[in-house]
């Protein structure tokens, strides 16, 4: 019997399914596991799945007709709000569930498994060739994600705050990561900021993060990647998403949220791609409340750790 894990969502969701693959491998070793995800590179070198050590395979819909293949769709939330699913985000938030608990709960209920969540962090692997520092980068640096996707501008952190952070930490090197098409802009006037925009692909960014001092980012796949390698992480969450859903609990992970600061996020995240509660410069007021002094002090605190 073979299980095919399917996820056609964004890269952060694909990364989160790697935890599910590991749980299946540990708790249901009689099954072979394949994956079909929208970002297959997150499974490269993964020993828990059949296509992890080779070139990722393209999913063939005809496989679903084979009774020896169980296609498990990794999507715990009902985006249209029309399906009676007790594992949707809005229902799970009442029980302080994590993303992993929601995903596994949905899979157990829909496919009649009894997976137990024994870890929350993603399960990423680098090859021997990848598992070393990137030579053109300095020995010590922080990875920063200073932009946001055009279709989810609620996550953007004020550009003026980034400048204050760079100026307050002149001896710290920051490496910008991301794509210019996703509203990432360089900071050419700051000598301690390396412009890595549009340069590093997903696998290279994983490597960059593993050998960094830490990551500063809005809720993003960079955050999940930092968790996979247990790196220091300063997650700029604001009032968008419930703390329980996204927060990791290892030492060095900091989930900076402003839940409850405004009526739109009173009692939990607003879960909107953009919110009407904005400052004049277009950034969300909930993100403006995360003052740069908080980030500056955390970077100083961690110093050369990890």
Q: Which of 52-66, 211-225, 287-301 has the lowest mean pLDDT?
A: 52-66
Query: What distance in Å separates the CA atoms of residue 33 and residue 152, rounded to the nearest whole number?
Result: 33
Q: Where exactly are the structural domains of the chain?
A: 2-111, 142-302
Q: What is the pLDDT of residue 33?
A: 93
Closest CA to 141 of 89, 193, 203: 193
pTM: 0.89
The confidence band for 287, taking pLDDT boundaries of 50, 70 and 90, is: very high
* Sheet with 142-144, side-by-side order of all strands: 193-195, 174-176, 142-144, 214-218, 233-238, 253-257
Residues 170-189: tens digit of each pLDDT: 999 999 999 998 888 899 89
259-277 pLDDT tens trace = 999 898 888 888 888 888 8
Provide the percentage of residues in the chain whose pLDDT is more than 70: 88
> CA-to-CA distance for 104 and 144, rounded, in angstroms?
30
- Provide CB contacts within 8 A for 205, sequence distance 6+: 143, 177, 222, 225
- CATH homologous superfamily for the domain 142-302: Glycogen Phosphorylase B; (3.40.50.2000)
Which three-class secondary structure state does DSSP give residue 3? strand
Does residue 162 surpass a pLDDT of 70?
yes
């Amino acid at each position: 019997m073979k299980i095919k894990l399917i996820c056609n969502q964004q890269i952060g969701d694909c990364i989160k399914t790697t935890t599910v693959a590991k749980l299946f491998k540990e708790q249901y070793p009689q099954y072979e596991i394949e994956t079909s995800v929208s970002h297959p590179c997150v499974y490269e070198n993964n020993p828990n799945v059949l296509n992890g050590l080779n070139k990722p395979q393209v999913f063939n819909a005809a496989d679903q007709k084979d009774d020896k293949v169980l296609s498990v769709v990794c999507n715990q939330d009902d985006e249209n709000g029309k399906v009676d699913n007790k594992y949707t985000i809005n229902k799970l938030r009442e029980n302080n569930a994590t993303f992993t608990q929601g995903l596994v709960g949905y899979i157990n209920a829909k496919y009649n498994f009894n997976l137990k969540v024994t870890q929350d962090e993603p399960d990423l692997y680098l090859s021997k060739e990848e598992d070393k520092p990137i030579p053109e980068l300095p020995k010590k640096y922080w990875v920063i994600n200073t932009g946001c996707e055009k279709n989810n501008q609620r996550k953007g952190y004020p550009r003026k705050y980034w400048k204050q952070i760079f100026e307050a930490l002149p001896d710290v090197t920051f490496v910008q990561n991301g794509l210019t098409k996703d509203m990432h802009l360089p900071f050419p006037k700051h000598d301690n900021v390396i412009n890595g925009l549009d340069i590093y692909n997903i696998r290279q960014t994983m490597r960059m993060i593993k050998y960094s001092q830490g990551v500063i980012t809005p809720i993003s796949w960079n955050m999940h990647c930092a968790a996979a390698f247990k790196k220091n992480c300063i997650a700029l969450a604001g009032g968008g998403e419930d703390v329980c859903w996204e927060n990791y609990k290892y030492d060095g992970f900091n989930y900076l949220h402003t839940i409850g600061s405004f009526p739109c996020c009173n009692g939990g995240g607003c879960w909107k791609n953009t919110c009407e509660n904005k400052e004049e410069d277009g950034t969300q007021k909930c993100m403006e409340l995360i003052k740069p002094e908080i980030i500056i002090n955390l970077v100083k605190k961690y110093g050369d750790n990890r």
